[in-house]
Structures are given as structure tokens and as C-alpha cells.
A and B are shown apart, each in its own frame.
Chain A
Amino acid sequence: MAGRNLRRNRVRTVLAVLGVCIGVLAVAALGIFGNVLALGANDAIGDIGTQVVVSPNSDTGVESLSTTDVAEIRRAVDDPAVGDPAVVPLYSDNGIVAGASSQTFATIYGVEEPALAFEAAEGELPDRHRQGAIIGAGVATDLNIGTGDTVEIVGSQVRVVAVLAETQTFSPVAPDDAVFLPESAFATDGYAQALIISESGETAQAAADAIRREVNAREDRVDLFELAAIVDEINGFFDLLSTFLLGLGAISLVVAGVSILNVMLMSTVERRQEIGVMRAVGVTRRDVLRVLLAEAGLIGAAGAAAGTVLTVILVAALVAATPAVDASLVIDPTNAYYLLLALGFGVGVGIISGAYPAWKAANERPVEALRS
């Protein structure tokens, strides 16, 4: 019955549905935009948030990290409470790396367990790095070389076993412009840095705190470089941004709600006699209320469904049009949450806006309604 009543005044119904549709579109689309922005930012800064770089503190005369220092660091973070992060000590040097046709100046690291800290784009990272060179994405591009090629590093010919995936991190250890050799290629006995790779920003911070506490207990032997706290701040900002965008969307949904209110009020005024007849022939107030609420709910649901579909189309079109946005960020399951939220809001707004007119119509005395 509710559906048929709505069909009687199609134009008005369609306009109300359109209102909700736009409201839902605004909420869902702005919510998703904010979320994609936050996810994108998180993606870019996520790595540094989970990384702590430990370096010797030259202010107190420590020039390199000894094996004792590394062992102490390992002990400090060997605790389930800090997430048991991987500790990857690095030797460090600089030198000329030459390919077949060109050469470049690069940082040369000595690493034993590269697989703990890095990802390969080409070839495979060995668990124990014993021979060959692993080269960063930037160096590989500059020298135009790949896995299986030979490069000359500071005078010795080394075969490339793997090329690292490009990273967008901002960190003292920049693997893009570096070459990784086995530890045996270095003659020094002190590590230049140690990377602590955690699962999350929180555990990274906990690890950094643990190292400060344990390793720097007597004197400040090491410097720590960590961005987890900054990442937290940035995440907080994006939460705020998302809320702000959702708020903007909610305003349009409120406008849509007022339009439903208007439609339902007009409709009940127009159908005053009909409602009076229903009441006169013995239909209870509750049932009249139910029919009218169902009408409002239907408007809300139809608008919300249309708005949700439109949002999906809009977001898909925007992603297709802007290559800068990573599609994987958009199909992230958290975006579905915003869709559902908007859908629920749409239906809710319909019912809430329909409540007053429905209540008013149901409670009118049938005598008055029939007289008009």
C-alpha cells in the first residue's frame, strides 16, 4: 500500500528520493575521499612509522655499533610486549657503482639478513646474504641493470642477485639509492646503523623506548631515529579530516531529510480525507502510522540505495580518471563501511523525517478529516 501511494505522485516522490540520493552520495563520497586520502598517506608514511633506525651517538664518542651493542639492542627488543621486531645491523660505506655503460655514486651497505628489512622487485632476497649484490631500485634504473647482470662496486665485479622494490620512505636508510653487499665484503668491525623493523607504529615506539631504556642506561651510546609519534599525529589529522568531510556530507543529508519531511507533510495534507476514512472504518492509529512511516522509509531506502550505487560509480570513475590514486586504496574494505554508514543514514533520515507527518496524520480526529 505504501508503495502504491508513492507511485501516485511520482514527481514528488522522485524529487524526495533524489534529495536523499544526493545526501547519501555526499556522505558516502566525502567519507570515502577522506578515507582514501588517509589510507594513501598512511601507505606513504607507514614504513617509517614502523621503522626505528639506531645509530651510534658520536656526541659521546661512539663511532660505530659494536657486536655487543647489537646484542644489547636485540636483548632490549626481545620482548613480546614490543612485538619482537627484527633487528638488522648494517655496515655502511660510499663508493662508485658502475654498470656496463654508466656509473653512479651510491651508499653501500653490508647486510646479513636483507629479507627481514627489504622487499625484492626482481630476483629473491637470500635469508643469509653470502655473495652477490642486491641493488636499490634507483640505482638499478640509473645503471639500467637487472638481476643476473654484473656491476663493478668499488673496483670488484659483483653479480646482481636481486633488485629491491621501489620504496617511498623518508628515512636515514634510503634503500633506493643503495647497494647491499654481504657483511664479509666489509673489513670494518663496527656497524654504522641498525634497523629495527616493527609490525606497527605502536610497537615501533615501544621498541624505541626499550632501546633507550636498556642500551642507553648508563651513557647515551646510541641515537634513535623514529617517526612513529609523528605518524600518530598525522593519522590523528586525517581522522579529523574524515570527520570534517563526513560532517559536510551530513549537512546535505539533513537537507534531504527536510525535503522528505516536506513531501510527507504535503502528502498527508492531501490525503487527509483518505486517512480520515481509514480511521473511520476502523483502521487503528498505529496502522495508519505504520503505512505512512513505510512510505517515508521507502523514499529513504530508495534514495539511499541509488546514492550508494552512484557513489560506487562516481568513485570508480574518479579512480579511472586519476592514475595518481592507487586502486587498491579504493577497494579497501574500510570504504565499504562508509557506504554502509551512508545507506543506514539515508534510511534513518527517511524514517525520522516521516515520523512527524505520520504521527500528525494518524492522530487527527477522523471527524475533522472527513469534513474537509
Chain B
Amino acid sequence: MYSVELRGATKRYPGGGTEPVVALDDVNFAVEPGEFVAVVGPSGSGKSTLLNVLGLLDDPTEGWRLLNGTDVTELSVAERTTARKGSIGFVFQDFHLLPALTAVENVALPTAFDSGDASDRAVDLLRRFGLGDRLDHEPSELSGGQKQRVAIARSLINDPAVLLADEPTGNLDTDTGESILAEFGRVKEEGVAVIAVTHDPLVEEYADRVVELTDGVLVGGDVDEATSVDDTLGGRDSESPLAPGEQ
């Protein structure tokens, strides 16, 4: 079972003219637990859209989306929020920490409105990422690398199945970037599927697999191009050129 999987996913946006913009074109993509996948491609190739669709922030126009083997293609807004909270962690290029909250509070943010206090777990996570002495600092008092570590700790507070990172090293210098990628390496050891959208060649070095997205077309999306659609969706006829082993 894959942690996250897209089958024939297409995403079209209404364009300015008559032709809609195709951001994702019949994408097949699957990531196993504990796998670190880097998604590369030029700007405007649909990388962010792919991440949004994987992260349940956006729905595909066509195709299927599975999370831990469960079909999550069409969920209500509330169900998507719950699913995000339960299974998905986000790491952003701009860190996106809340400036009013301390490091611990930022890490605990996803669970801030639940009964029960997640502070202990947040403190554990921050210690794990070497921020034991920055627990009560606000984001403005942290360096870029520290902020990104806080962001990674936040993405892990809910024990996610999938960690989605959008240019995680984009705002960091090379050394800091490398240490962040090393953290991703540790995260995936715990069985979390890590998917990073990036321009950074460094990320490709750390990734188990690199897939390329060009104009919405994904190359190398399946774990094993031979294991295909039939295993998960029971013989759905895929015309995707990305699954040639099927024929």
C-alpha cells in the first residue's frame, strides 16, 4: 500500500481565454512509506498544483487520489481538513510560522484547538531537531534554518503518513539546506513518505527517487513503473503513457 497515490489525476484551471489551463495532465504518482521523492521541473510546470492536490488543499478535476489506500478524491471541506490534520504534514519555503506564537506553540498549532495538550510532544520534537534551547522563542528570534526545523517539527506533530515540502531549502544557504535535508532523511526512516518539490539539485542528491514534471506531465511517477493501476483500482483501463509495463 502506498502512503499517497494519484491515478490519472488531471487538474484544469479556467484560463483567461477559452482554453482552460492544464496544470496536471493525467498524472500517475505513488510514494511508498519511508520513501523520499523529489519533484523537479521548471517554473509553471504544475509542481505546486501537484503538491496541493497531494496535500488535499485542492481537488483533481479528474482521476483518483488515495491516502493510505483510502479514496480521498472527493471529500467535503471539513473532511479534507480532518484528513490533512490526521495524515499530512506541510513544510513551506517561507516556513509560514505564526509570528505571535513561540516555537513550541507553532509546533503544536495543528492540535491547538483540540482537547488535551500537545506541548510535551512539541517539546520532544523540537529537542529532536536540536532546538531544545529555543522552545519559547518567537519566530523573529530564530534563524532561517531554525525556523525550517520548527516547521518540520510542526509537520510531524500529528504523526503524518506524508510530509509535503515546497522548496524546503529555497530560502536557506547550502549548509543549512543540507542539514534540513538530513532531517528529512531521519523523518523518512520513521516510515513517513517525504515528497519535496524543488529547484535545488541538493535535494535530488538526498532523494530516493527524482520525478520530473514538465507542462503538467509527470515522468517517473510510479514506484515501479511495472506495478500499475490494476493493483489498486481493479483493472481500470489506463491510457497513461507513464505505465507502459501494463501492456
Contacts and interface: CB of A to CB of B under 8 A. Distances in A.
A8 B98 CA distance: 11
B81 interface: yes
B98 A367 contact: no
Nearest to A4: B100
B52 interface: yes
Contacts of A281: 84-85, 89-90, 109-110, 154-155
A79 interface: no
Interface stretch (A84-92, A235-243, A270-278): A270-278
Contacts of B48: 371
Interface string A332-353: 0000000000000000000000
A283 to B, nearest CB: 6
Given A282-B158, A283-B109, A274 B96 contact: yes
Interface in A1-27: 1, 4-5, 7-8
A279 interface: yes
Interface string B70-86: 00000001100110111
B81 A279 contact: yes
A366 to B, nearest CB: 5
A285 interface: yes
Interface string A277-292: 1111111110100100
A4 B112 contact: no
With most chain A CB atoms within 10 A of its CB, the pick from B77, B78, B155, B158 is B77
Contact of A8 (B55, B92, B100): B100
B182 interface: no
B87 to A, nearest CB: 9
Interface in A354-372: 365-367, 370-371
B207 interface: no
B83 to A, nearest CB: 8
B66 interface: no
Contacts of A7: 100
B186 to A, nearest CB: 21
Contacts of A8: 99-100
B77 A280 contact: no
B57 A280 contact: yes
A1 to B, nearest CB: 7
B84 A280 contact: yes
Q: Categorize the interface residue count of chain B.
A: 20 to 34
Contact of A282 (B52, B58, B110): B110
Nearest to A279: B81
Contacts of B99: 8, 274
Nearest to A366: B57
B101 interface: yes
A370 B109 contact: no
Nearest to A6: B100
Contacts of A287: 112-113
Contacts of B109: 278, 281, 283
Given A280-B57, A280-B90, A367-B52, A285 B81 contact: yes
A277 B85 CA distance: 12
Contacts of A283: 81, 85, 109-110, 112-113
Contacts of A366: 57
Contact of B92 (A277, A365, A367): A277
A282 B78 contact: no
Contacts of B155: 281
Given A283-B109, A284-B113, A277 B100 contact: no
Contact of A367 (B57, B110, B158): B57
A290 B77 CA distance: 17
B98 A277 contact: yes
B61 to A, nearest CB: 14
A282 B85 CA distance: 4
A273 B154 CA distance: 16
A370 B112 contact: no
Contacts of A273: 96
Contacts of A280: 55, 57, 84, 90
Interface string B52-68: 10010110000000000
Given A274-B99, A367-B52, 16 more contacts: A1-B100, A1-B112, A4-B100, A277-B96, A277-B98, A278-B98, A280-B90, A281-B89, A281-B110, A282-B85, A284-B78, A285-B77, A290-B113, A367-B58, A370-B96, A371-B48
24 contacts: A1-B100, A4-B100, A4-B101, A273-B96, A278-B98, A280-B57, A280-B84, A281-B84, A281-B85, A281-B89, A281-B90, A282-B88, A283-B81, A283-B85, A283-B113, A284-B82, A284-B113, A285-B78, A290-B113, A365-B58, A366-B57, A367-B57, A367-B58, A370-B57
